[in-house]
Structure 1
Amino acid sequence: MKKIILLIGIVLIITSCKRDNALQQSIAKINTDIAVERFDRLFAEATSEDLPKLKQAYPFMFSEKYSDSFWLAKKADTLQIQLFNEVDKTFSVFNDIETEIESLFNHLKYYFQEFNPPRIITVTNDVRYRNKVIVTDTITVIALDNYLGSEHEFYSSIHKYIRANLTKEQIVVNLAGEYAKKYIYQQPKKTLLDEMIYFGKQLYFKDAVIPFKTDAERIGYSPKQLNWAIANESYIWRYFVERELLFSTDSKLPGRFINPAPFTKFYLEEIDADSPGQLGQYIGWQIVRAYMKQNDVSLKDMLIKSTEDIFNNTKFKPRK
C-alpha cells in the first residue's frame, strides 16, 4: 500500500512539473523587450549645454519651480557625485536585472492581457528607501541608490531589518509588489485577517509573476528567517486562533504582526527575539496558497475576492 501511495505521489509531482514547465515556456514566448533608460547617468554627465535637451526628454523629472542653475548646482554637489559614483560602480552592468524585469513583464502580460510594458527609468533619490520604486501605467522609476547592498556605508543609520533588503536582488521583487497593489482590489481593511489576506494576495501574486525568485526573496526574509517561519507555522496559527485575533479590529495588531519590523511581537520572551517580522503576512500567504490549490480560480479573479470568500473556502492546515 505504501508503495502505491509513493508511486501516486511521484506521478503527481512529475505531472505538476510538466505542467509548470509548459506554462513557463508559453510565458517565455511573449518575449518582452525593454530598454532601460539610465537617467541617473544622463543627469550626472550632463553639461550646461546638455541640460535643456535632457529637460525636454524627461520633463517629469524636473520641477518647473527650479531653474537650470539649481539642477547644475545639484549635480556638482559633492554628496551627489559620491552617490552617482557608488551607483555607477554597483550598476555598471544592468543586463541581469533587465532580464528579470523582462520576465516579470512577460508574466504580467500572460495573466493580464491589458498590460503594456512601461518605460523603465533609473534615477537616484537621496536614499529615500520608502520610495524605491514608482509605478504608473506608462513609466516605472527605479531609484538605484536604494539597492547598493545591505552593508553599504550609505545605509549605516538605517535599521538593520530595513537595509537587509536594500540589495539589487530586490529590485524586481519590489516592482512586482507595486504591480500587485495595482491589481488587488479589497474592501478597506478592518480586521487582522483582512490585513493577512491582503498581503497574502500580494505574496501569491509574486509567486505567479516572479517564479524565478525564492520564497525568502519574495517576502524579504533571509533563508534562516523563512525556515523559522516554516518550522513554527503551526504555533503561529494556533496563537492567532486561541487569542481570537483573526477577527479583531485592534489597531495595534498590524504593527505587531503585519508591518516590517525586526521581529514579530508575540510578547513571549522565549520566541520574540528569534522570530522574523511580518509573520501575519506569511500566514496570509499560506492561506491564499491553500485557497488557490483547493479552488478553480484564476489569479486575476483571486485578487478581487473578499477576505470572507477566501477564508471560508479554504481548509487551511499549517505545517507541523
Structure 2
Amino acid sequence: MAFWRNRDNLDRYYNLQRNIIKILKFTLVFYVFISCSNESEVKKEISKIPIEIKIERFDTLFAKVTLETLPDLKKEYPFLFPEKYADSIWIKRSQDTIQQEVNIEVEKTFLDLSKEETELYSLFQHIQYYFPEIKTPKIVTIINDVDYRNKIVLSKGLLIIALDTYLGKDHHFYEGIQKYLRQNFERKYMVPDIASMYAKNQVGPIRDRTFIGNLISFGKELYIKDLLLPEFTNARKIGYTEEQYSWAITNEEYIWRYFIDKKLLYSTDSSLMPRFLYPAPFSKFYLEEIDKEAPDRIAQFIGWRIVDSYMKNNNVSLRQLILADAETIFNRSKYKPKK
C-alpha cells in the first residue's frame, strides 16, 4: 500500500509540474502577445503623426550661382554666408575647378534624394513621438570641403548635411583620409548620423569620468537610436559593417570578461576612451589575435547592451533613463553577455 501511495504522490507531483509549466508557457505567450500588441499600437500612433519633409538643395543652387543671382541666394540662406566675406569671394569659390569637380561628383551620386526623404520622414515621426518638444528642422544640403568632422550640423531649427562626405568609402576624394574613417562615408549612414545628433542632444555631455560612465552614456545614445530607427539594422545604427557587428555579438562575453578582469569599469584612465570608445582602426585589447579583428568603439556596443537590458528589466520611462546615472543603470540592468 505504501508503494501505491508513493506512486500516487509521484503522479500528483508530476501533474503539478506539468500544470506549472503550462501556466508559465501561457504567461510567457500572454506577455509576448501584450508586448507585440503594445508595439503595434505605438507603430500605429507614430504612423499617424503628420510631418513635412523638404530637402533644400543649396549645393545645386550654389553650383549655378552668378553675380546677379547671389543676392537672392544670400537672402534665402543668410546662415551660409558669413558677412566678413565679400561677394567676389563666393563667386570665385563657385568657379573654382576643384569646387566644380566636387559639384559634378555630388550631383552624380545624389541626383535623387527620395530614399533619404522617406527615411527622414519616418525618423522625424519617431522624434515627434518620443520628443514632442522637438520641431522638424529646415533641412539643407551643402558641399563643405569634405569636412568629415562636420558631416551633420544641427543648430537652432537647422539641419545641414554635407553631401560631399557621403560619396562612398572608396571615392578618390577621400584618398588621404584613414580607412577606418572612410568606412562611414557611405550614404546609408547619413540618416543614422542625423539620428545620432538628436540622441546626443537628448543625453547631453558626459559628466561621469569613469569608463562605465562613458560606456553607459554612449549606450543611452544608441538605445535612443534604436527607438528612432526601428527599421534599420543594428550594424547600420552603430556604424559597423554586418561582419563587424557579427564579431561583436559573437565575442560579447569575452569583451565583457576582459573589462571585468582588467578592472576597467570604474577606472578614470583617459587612455581607455580612444582604445574602446572613439573612432579608431580597431579596439585595442593589446592582444594580437583580437586586435586584428575587433572593430573600433566596442565599448559603445557593450554600453548599448547594458542600457537595453536595463530598459527590459525595469519599468522606467525614456526620460527616466536619460536622467539616470550610470551606476544605477548598471546595477539594475541585470546585464549578462550572450555566450
User: TM-score, normalised to structure 1's length?
Assistant: 0.96
- Cα distance in 2 for partners of 1:305, 1:186 equals 14
Match of 1:104 in 2: 123
**Equivalent residue for 1:63?**
82
Q: Letter of the aligned partner of 1:234 in structure 2?
A: E
Compute the displacement of 1:7 (Å): 6.9
Shift of 1:186: 5.7
Gaps of 5+ in 2: 1-17
After TM superposition, the score normalised by the length of structure 2 is: 0.90
Aligned-residue offset at 1:131 = 0.3
Task: Name the SS of the counterpart of 1:135 in structure 2.
Answer: strand
Could you tell me whether the CA contact under 8 Å between 1:187 and 1:306 is conserved in 2?
Answer: no
Aligned residue type for 1:53: D
8 Å Cα contact 2:282/2:295 also seen in 1: yes
CA–CA distance in structure 1, aligned partners of residues 271 and 118 of structure 2:
41
Q: How far apart, in 1, do the equivalents of 2:171 and 2:318 lie? A: 37
**Runs (4+) of structure 1 moved beyond 4 Å?**
1-15
Counterpart of 1:43? Answer: 62
Question: Is 1:145–2:188 an aligned residue pair?
Answer: no
1:158-212, CA deviations, whole angstroms, 9 ceiling, x for partnerless residues?
1111111111111110111111111114651311101100100110010011112
**Deviation of residue 301 (structure 1)?**
2.3
Tell me the CA shift for residue 31 of structure 1: 2.5
Structure 2 counterpart of 1:154: 173
Q: What is the distance in 2 between the residues matched to 1:9 and 1:46?
A: 63
**What is the aligned counterpart of 2:208 among 186, 189, 202?**
189
Counterpart among 165, 187, 196 of residue 177 in structure 1: 196
Q: In structure 2, what is the equivalent of residue 134 of structure 1?
A: 153
Report the alpha carbon displacement of residue 9 of structure 1 after superposing the two structures with TM: 5.5
| Matched residues, number | 320
Q: Which moved more, 1:305-314 or 1:229-238?
A: 305-314
In structure 2, the residue matched to 1:85 is 104
Q: Give the Cα separation in 2 of the matches to 1:236 and 1:273.
A: 14
Q: Is the 2:143–2:162 contact (alpha carbons within 8 Å) kept by the matching residues of 1?
A: yes
For structure 1, list consecutive stretches of 5 or more residues without a partner in the other structure.
none
Instruction: Return closer, same or farther for 1:319/1:36 CA change in 2, 3 Å cut-off.
Output: same
1:258 CA displacement:
0.5
How big is the alpha-carbon RMSD for the aligned residues of Structure 1 and Structure 2? 1.7
Does the alignment pair 1:254 with 2:273? yes
Q: Quick one: percent identity of the two aligned structures?
A: 46
In 2: Cα distance, 1:210 partner to 1:115 partner: 16
- Bigger relative contact order, structure 1 or 2 (CA pairs below 8 A, ≥6 apart): 1
**Distance (Å, rounded) in 1 between the aligned partners of 2:322 and 2:206:** 12
Letter of the 1:263 counterpart: F
SS in 1 for 2:44: helix
3-state SS of 2:56 partner: coil
Relative to structure 1, is the Cα distance of residues 154 and 9 closer, same or farther in structure 2, using a 3 angstrom cutoff? farther
The change in CA–CA distance for 1:110 and 1:48 in structure 2 (over 3 A counts) is same
1:31 counterpart (27, 50, 74) = 50
Q: Give 1 or 2 for the bigger CA radius of gyration.
A: 2
Gap change, CA 1:84 and 1:187, over 3 Å in 2: closer
Matched, 1:317 2:332: no
